[in-house]
Amino acid sequence: MTTAPRPILFVSLPESGLLNPMLVLARELARRGTPDLWFATDEPRRADVQGSAGRTPVEFASLGEVFSELSAVSWSDEVYREVTQSSRFKAHRAVIRQSYRPDLQAEKYRRLESVVAKIDPALMVIESMSSFAVDLALTRNIPFVLSVPFLPSNVLTSHNPFGSSYTPKSFPVPHSGLPYPMNFGQRLGNMLFKLRTLALFLNPGMGKVLSEDNRIRKELGLPAASPMTRIDRAEMVLCNSVPELDYPFDVPEKMKLVGAVMPPLPEASGAADDGLGAWLDARSSVVYMGFGTITRLTREQVGALVEVARRLDGRHDVLWKLPEEQQHLLPAPESLPGNLRIESWLPSQLDVLAHPAVAVFFTHGGGNGFHEGVYFGKPLVVRPLWVDCFDQAVRGRDFGISLTLDRPQTVDPDDVVDKLTRVLDDPSFRRRAERLGGLQRAAGGRVRAADLILDLPALSRPGSSDRTPVQN
């Protein structure tokens, strides 16, 4: 008698930086013919999930509309300024105050609860920011894998100075942008960052939110909130990085560092790129500027970046992914330099980064962009946006693969051109990026991640070892 396979349920928040690696992994399992794949996220990502079919489909499970309070792309301009301010702790505090919403997390929990009751998953694969899904897996005793699109230390280092942590006590706290090892002043700043985070929850306003969280958790029968529970209780932690891109520490055995999780390339056909591929083919050195989906530039910053392209004219071409809703900030078309190409949308950023003409990636330094640029051996210039971007930036600088703008909150053309020129003219940046890219590719990416998931005991069943061979 054979046992019918039970589903694998992926759960993610809808932000591209969190969801996209999960989609790549779900599509890899679908390509292999893995049955009963489900993906739960917010309604606007329905088409992305339903376009993931391979030999088997990936079924979409809706968690309803996006809650704007939990989605950085929909925050007000005032909140955006607070979470991207120059003080790293104040920006970190603003993110917590904006996104710590127990009532909304509870609503997502209830919606996911109905999905789980319907499909009865054998395993959940949960993006690391989806705390409501971790709570549900723990409450229902469902084995789960945690998916991490950040540096490994991001989820293994406690913000609480008295809490348990998988990294040394002297390790830089996430979002601090501090190096390792540190001098005395930096160690003091690191401890103050932790103490101020702890004190944040002693504030009367946040205390009320914490009390609400405790009440809701008791009502839903959830375990007490603990930052490391998601690590301790996971069957496995899949991290889209490699040890060499983080400061050294002993990574726990359950964390599998598989490098950037990339789809098969090219992602887009030549007909879909509106001549972009031919444009790249005709260039010898291209600066690619892409600042993610959250960055909101001012008119002055847009003008400064146009000036950067102008100053590079004759030496380098510039490809700039600038969202359509920000293009009204551009100067008159006739005043744009001839070496600048602006696109509101790219069929595939990965195809662009993979192109041999792209010599440097000018980025906001988010987890995906940082790892993707290095995966393709591209050195970086980083204008850190917020929270984890400063952590990636300081590691890239210390590992010799990137430089960081002196004043990231503004865009000074002198500073940007200086950093770009130094990275472009010094071949050591590219050599080190190519070495680290090779380590990422050797880590296995989506293929190894899929293998690791299918080998978990939670999916063991008669015939489970008869997997279709993978074509890389």
What is the distance, to the nearest Å, from the Cα of residue 103 to the centroid of all Cα atoms in its chain?
25
Confidence (pLDDT) at 268:
81
Which residues of the chain are in CATH 3.40.50.2000 domains?
A: 8-259+444-459, 270-442
pLDDT band (50, 70, 90) for residue 4: low
pTM, entire model:
0.93
Does position 74 have pLDDT exceeding 50, yes or no? Answer: yes
Q: Tell me how crowded residue 135 is: count the other CB atoms within 10 A of its CB.
A: 24
Q: Could you read off the pLDDT of 407-460 as tens digits, one per residue?
A: 888 899 999 999 999 999 999 999 999 999 999 999 999 999 999 999 999 998
pLDDT at 52: 85
Homologous superfamily (CATH) of 8-259+444-459 is Glycogen Phosphorylase B; (3.40.50.2000)
| Mean pLDDT (whole number) for 166-176 | 96
| Architecture in CATH of 270-442 | 3-Layer(aba) Sandwich (3.40)
> Which two tokens mark 109?
């929990």
Report pLDDT digits (tens) over 109-162.
Answer: 999 999 999 999 999 999 999 999 999 999 999 999 999 999 999 999 999 999
Q: Is pLDDT above 60 for 60? A: yes
User: Residue 398: beta bridge partners?
Assistant: none
51 burial type by CB count under 10 A (0-12 exposed, 13-18 middle, 19+ buried): exposed
Closest CA to 372 of 204, 237, 260: 260
Angle subtended at Cα 285 by Cα 472 and Cα 319, rounded to the nearest 5 degrees: 80
pLDDT digits (tens, 9 = 90+) for 241-291: 999 999 999 999 999 999 999 999 998 866 567 789 999 999 999 999 999
d(CA 346, CA 359): 18
At position 24, the amino acid (one-letter code) is V
